Structure 1
């Protein structure tokens, strides 16, 4: 074995050992381990932060209200010491030009906080935080805070705040701080951080029991903007309240704040790291069939090899169908059997591999010692997983990690048997429901459409397919969008209202796609047709991804035309016009990117895309994400192009976060379907990419290391 192969094997063993330990010993996060969250959606007292951190990977969803201020937040514990927050707030009766027709001012903000010191017997926990750090809205502020456990149930918090958190009774001043600029923002306001007035804050929290926590707080927030613009009454800096945990871990908080207002909050913390791998109620797989002693030496059957190949293929197809698996290619040799495995059911790749391997032990002639399972996506071989039959027989009742240590995962290029078109589904279709949403419109922060979708796929060859979907809205209000944002760029996304108002029914996509393997470690895709809601054209992609490499490189080139607003078969020119003047702008025909992907280990992944975007701007998109063995994934992205923040408009640059949840979480049974929600604070024309389904990287890495190793605990399931 080469040093490189041994490194890959060691890394895989480490990954599966860690995952197995987490599943075996990692019970769901205990309620007492999760701190209470404040009205800004971060660990804290009432309005003020504390230095507490939630357990690693905790996702906190919260909604709270004090007087006329409503705040919804999503907080993710990125690492044990680092957390990030996205917040969307609305303030009623707020006198500002950026308020909507009902007088509600909406504000989007991001926070980041870092734990400098953990708590010890003598030392308090100390954290530093930036609130609304890439905006200049009303919530921007910074803080340094310490929290110490004085008694088993009593914690004390004290800190210093700047900006919003330094506005009441400041003790001193450090430099000058620029005023808030409501309605703009989007760029890091580093020239304002930790500058201006500094005010102290603090408080106590007492855990009456494992459900009820009492809170007392001295706030350094003067609510200046709300008092001046909305009539908020700040009569006292002292707030008090309580936090009550319900049986499902939902937290209910009630407050009396600032001597004048009542407040409440709902918080729901979940931790994908401790949820385990979905599934478990599905029927068990077949047991391994152990061969009789010395039967492996019998090669008499090879005299009728072709007949055995046909009969065993038929039996294998029938057996795998019971496990919701299929094969589209098969080769039988005296000592080796190779299959092309198609898995449309199991979200964890190792579960599909394990079931296929056990089925092979029951059907293959006894002399066949080596099984090579080649999973395919879109008819394209992804990798070659080679197992020894004797290992399956001897290790069936042992830990899965032992089986992984004896399994080879290599490139499948040139190893797969020829595809058998006879077992390729020619046409499949389904009538399902769908939903679409539009968020953060000041006139209506959340719009939703729900309707019926009929979709189908015609598998022309194993690697060539035609797929499409037709949608009809049943109920919804996305078509009511009438706000057309000003733009200094070609309208590649801000003309969404015209598509929403005219596209019902609509063809959401109609695409002819071809997938292939141009060479070793290479994967390719060509797609043509109505690629997404707004654009039709041709898209080509090439990906370099060795099976055991953490690094992958890709390139994509697209030729596009705008679709008609009714989203049927018609196309428009790539010339866009401003709705209120005669200005016209050209959308470039070509766009594309070169990309680098890297798996840092531990579930952390990074991606960098460099190239030309839909509006013709050039730049880079940086994406970071964290994925767990059960399929949950949390990510964040930011795009920086040669478009200035002024030309980009509100938000300054494109950015957002994403949360992916496997459907099997709700079903309790295996499924490969994953629902992804992208939270983009504002959609503008700068940094906009074409939305092409079937991009290669995620499909390819599913069947490579360490993805297989991460879920290998499901091999015997």
Structure 2
């Protein structure tokens, strides 16, 4: 049977996830189908076998497992209430490839098609795909049901195929493509799903105490080598184990597998919807200041103050100082006796509505009673975003009624669709403006078969010089302190241009390194349009020219963009010299906001190695700045030329600092877990791409995060 090698299968999964993300109620640990107990593969289940349970919505779990010469590190994420995704890296000491232990990367997906309801007879039911994008040694599918008998006891039973039907076979359906040692893997082998031998499995989990859970299962799972022999010495189909909760987010699990092997697992979890330090400890905002009744104090409603020349400097000073205490920088202002427009930079709050709520309350205290209309325009890279217009009377009326009535009354419009308000002036001293920072950095390369984890730790000195509105000169220099990122100094053997696979050479010779040094111009060519032009050292491996145009209406969930780059490869020392390789690369892109924090992206175009193809991605973003997503890129590079993994794919995670500190901050740290860094499907990494900047101030994103307006 031929393997199906198509990004269409991956995009279908992403689309399904987006469509069902909002379906069904938000589940919590009190619901019977929710668990925090994981299998030895790092997925919700018993020991070796899955269950129909899911993690709590949004939960992230990481595990490290050791069993019978197999070491597994896994990462699982509850993408939606009924969809669980997992990435796993395994090293099998007793399975040798080219004289080295087998290193395997695999992805899992589980869909909970039926939820268990308290007091009802039907169980939770799930369908799962194990190692459906890996090299295939763990590949298997299953259908499983789980029933809660009591608050402490749950039973599971199901049918397994492939790697979940190595023992106790009860029948067979069709033919299944066998695992081929040395296969590049990484392809969607849909023709073999639910084919071949099938076996029945089952098990139970008993919560003996608040911390201890006992498990037993009849396991049909097994993992064979190229000779067809099981990798563990199975003496019994029965597995027994216990799961001890060390603390709320940490578990230690031990198990006796197959009557011969002992397994140990340590797991950690967190949930982006539940900050590590609670709701946060930022300073409480000022309350809304009410106005006197017009009849009792008509002088307070007089508009003569607006025509007094002495008003402007005093108002600028009062508003600027009050906003600065909130991490908000007043850039420009225009006012009349009845209205005011502020253009500002938000340096503190990830959720733009939180910044707007704080500014609005400042305005109610600083402005005369005659001012009824507040227009707030956030500025990014010197370019104004959408204009959010609020009525002061709505703020006074709805301060204690929640944020929804304020959003319903707000007007959100495109600043480029109308002339600037009369009298709009930038505050003195806003441009030019220089800022800098010194911070640590961590650069990791994971899952290379020859060195599963390499990386460097060092310092990054960053600087930014805002020359004028829209003009930004910025750069960063890195200095490694310690690490092994440049341990492998041999050039890549890739048959493609080495646009990414020589990363170890860059890590070895780039110390110190100019990470980037660019001059960028951001503009508004017209209504609904945004532009960027960047020149210089665009990233650590390439320099050149990058141009981008984005169409994004303020009220639309859809955005369309195009990017064109001419770049030349930088030398390994990452200073000012270049190598001979140059390429024209670029993409046309479609972005869609599905709501509830889900964002989809489709890029089609030419990549750094000169290959043509497409990237599909789905990300889930939380109000507090967490962002987790998956992507897959397939181009006209063959699986053989691409190398192990067949095509580029991975999981990307962005974590906000505020989640752990409790202090509001826009700083984040991010990483991408990919099977391997290959040359096929490689995109240019340039700062300041428009969509993620622009959408923060548009209606769909504001609506998703408006709950923080009064915070």
Aligned with 1:353: secondary structure? helix
**Structure 2 residue aligned with 1:239:** 239
Distance between the aligned counterparts of 1:666 and 1:489, measured in 2?
A: 42
Whether the 8 Å contact between 1:309 and 1:332 is mirrored in structure 2 is: no
**Structure 1 residue aligned with 2:500:** 493
CA displacement 1:70-106 (0-9 Å, x = unmatched): 1111112222222211111111243322x63xxx321
Distance between the aligned counterparts of 1:231 and 1:498, measured in 2?
A: 37
CA displacement 1:176-235 (0-9 Å, x = unmatched): 222212342011112222222222222222121232111111111243329978974222
**Structure 2 residue aligned with 1:322:** 325
Distance between the aligned counterparts of 2:672 and 2:659, measured in 1?
A: 19
Give the 5 Å matches for 1:549-588: 549-574=556-581, 587-588=582-583
1:122 and 2:126 correspond = no
**Structure 1 residue aligned with 2:304:** 300
Q: Which moved more, 1:454-463 or 1:287-296?
A: 287-296
**Structure 2 residue aligned with 1:71:** 72
**Structure 1 residue aligned with 2:697:** 703
**Structure 2 residue aligned with 1:643:** 637
CA displacement 1:136-172 (0-9 Å, x = unmatched): 4311111222222334422222222221111123222
Give the 5 Å matches for 1:388-427: 388-413=391-416, 414-415=419-420, 417-420=424-427, 422-424=429-431, 426-427=433-434
Aligned with 1:488: secondary structure? coil
- Pairwise CA distance, 1:478: 0.2
Whether the 8 Å contact between 1:434 and 1:453 is mirrored in structure 2 is: yes
1:113 and 2:138 correspond = no
CA displacement 1:505-540 (0-9 Å, x = unmatched): 100000111111111111111111000000001111
Q: Which moved more, 1:61-70 or 1:267-276?
A: 267-276
Distance between the aligned counterparts of 2:291 and 2:52, measured in 1?
A: 61
Distance between the aligned counterparts of 2:274 and 2:681, measured in 1?
A: 36
**Structure 2 residue aligned with 1:84:** 85
CA displacement 1:110-152 (0-9 Å, x = unmatched): 1112223333533332222111112343111112222223344
Distance between the aligned counterparts of 1:83 and 1:333, measured in 2?
A: 54
Distance between the aligned counterparts of 2:114 and 2:446, measured in 1?
A: 38
Distance between the aligned counterparts of 2:396 and 2:432, measured in 1?
A: 33
Distance 1:646 1:26, change over 3 A: closer
**Structure 1 residue aligned with 2:10:** none
Superposed CA RMSD: 2.4
- Pairwise CA distance, 1:274: 4.5
**Structure 1 residue aligned with 2:57:** 56
Aligned with 2:247: secondary structure? coil
Distance between the aligned counterparts of 2:487 and 2:680, measured in 1?
A: 24
Name stretches of at least 5 consecutive residues in structure 2 with no aligned partner: 1-20
- Pairwise CA distance, 1:447: 1.3
Whether the 8 Å contact between 1:227 and 1:233 is mirrored in structure 2 is: no
Whether the 8 Å contact between 1:56 and 1:79 is mirrored in structure 2 is: yes
Aligned with 1:480: secondary structure? coil
Distance between the aligned counterparts of 1:675 and 1:298, measured in 2?
A: 50
Distance 1:222 1:27, change over 3 A: closer
Aligned with 1:225: secondary structure? coil
Distance between the aligned counterparts of 2:496 and 2:281, measured in 1?
A: 52
Distance 1:27 1:339, change over 3 A: farther
Whether the 8 Å contact between 2:301 and 2:368 is mirrored in structure 1 is: no
Number of positions where the alignment pairs a residue of Structure 1 with one of Structure 2: 678
Q: Which moved more, 1:217-226 or 1:590-599?
A: 217-226
Name stretches of at least 5 consecutive residues in structure 1 with no aligned partner: 1-17, 575-586
Give the 5 Å matches for 1:8-23: none
**Structure 2 residue aligned with 1:45:** 46
- Pairwise CA distance, 1:317: 1.0
Whether the 8 Å contact between 1:243 and 1:253 is mirrored in structure 2 is: yes
The correspondence for 2:346, drawn from 340, 343, 347, is: 343
1:353 and 2:369 correspond = no
1:429 and 2:423 correspond = no
Distance between the aligned counterparts of 1:360 and 1:175, measured in 2?
A: 71
Give the 5 Å matches for 1:512-661: 512-574=519-581, 587-588=582-583, 590-661=584-655
Whether the 8 Å contact between 1:373 and 1:386 is mirrored in structure 2 is: yes
The correspondence for 1:684, drawn from 664, 667, 678, is: 678
Distance between the aligned counterparts of 1:174 and 1:388, measured in 2?
A: 66
Distance between the aligned counterparts of 2:96 and 2:704, measured in 1?
A: 53
Distance between the aligned counterparts of 1:160 and 1:451, measured in 2?
A: 50
Distance between the aligned counterparts of 2:241 and 2:135, measured in 1?
A: 30
Aligned with 2:400: secondary structure? coil
CA displacement 1:409-447 (0-9 Å, x = unmatched): 111223363444622462122222211111112222111
CA displacement 1:559-615 (0-9 Å, x = unmatched): 1011111000112211xxxxxxxxxxxx42x11111111111122211111111111
Distance between the aligned counterparts of 1:231 and 1:77, measured in 2?
A: 30
Whether the 8 Å contact between 2:521 and 2:532 is mirrored in structure 1 is: yes
**Structure 1 residue aligned with 2:285:** 285
**Structure 2 residue aligned with 1:584:** none
CA displacement 1:331-350 (0-9 Å, x = unmatched): 12121111111111111111
**Structure 1 residue aligned with 2:13:** none
Distance between the aligned counterparts of 2:571 and 2:174, measured in 1?
A: 55
Distance between the aligned counterparts of 1:259 and 1:402, measured in 2?
A: 63
Aligned with 1:361: secondary structure? helix
**Structure 2 residue aligned with 1:177:** 176
Q: Which moved more, 1:51-60 or 1:536-545?
A: 51-60
**Structure 2 residue aligned with 1:7:** none
1:441 and 2:448 correspond = yes
Whether the 8 Å contact between 1:96 and 1:229 is mirrored in structure 2 is: no
**Structure 2 residue aligned with 1:4:** none
**Structure 1 residue aligned with 2:511:** 504
- Pairwise CA distance, 1:475: 0.6
**Structure 2 residue aligned with 1:221:** 221
Distance 1:151 1:336, change over 3 A: closer
**Structure 2 residue aligned with 1:262:** 262
Distance between the aligned counterparts of 1:598 and 1:351, measured in 2?
A: 24
Distance 1:298 1:421, change over 3 A: closer
Whether the 8 Å contact between 2:479 and 2:511 is mirrored in structure 1 is: yes
Aligned with 1:520: secondary structure? coil
Whether the 8 Å contact between 2:85 and 2:110 is mirrored in structure 1 is: yes
- Pairwise CA distance, 1:628: 1.9
1:166 and 2:165 correspond = yes
For normalisation by structure 2, the TM-score amounts to 0.91
1:457 and 2:456 correspond = no
Aligned with 1:315: secondary structure? helix
Whether the 8 Å contact between 1:328 and 1:424 is mirrored in structure 2 is: no
Aligned with 1:167: secondary structure? coil
Distance between the aligned counterparts of 1:444 and 1:376, measured in 2?
A: 44
- Pairwise CA distance, 1:32: 9.4
Aligned with 2:149: secondary structure? strand
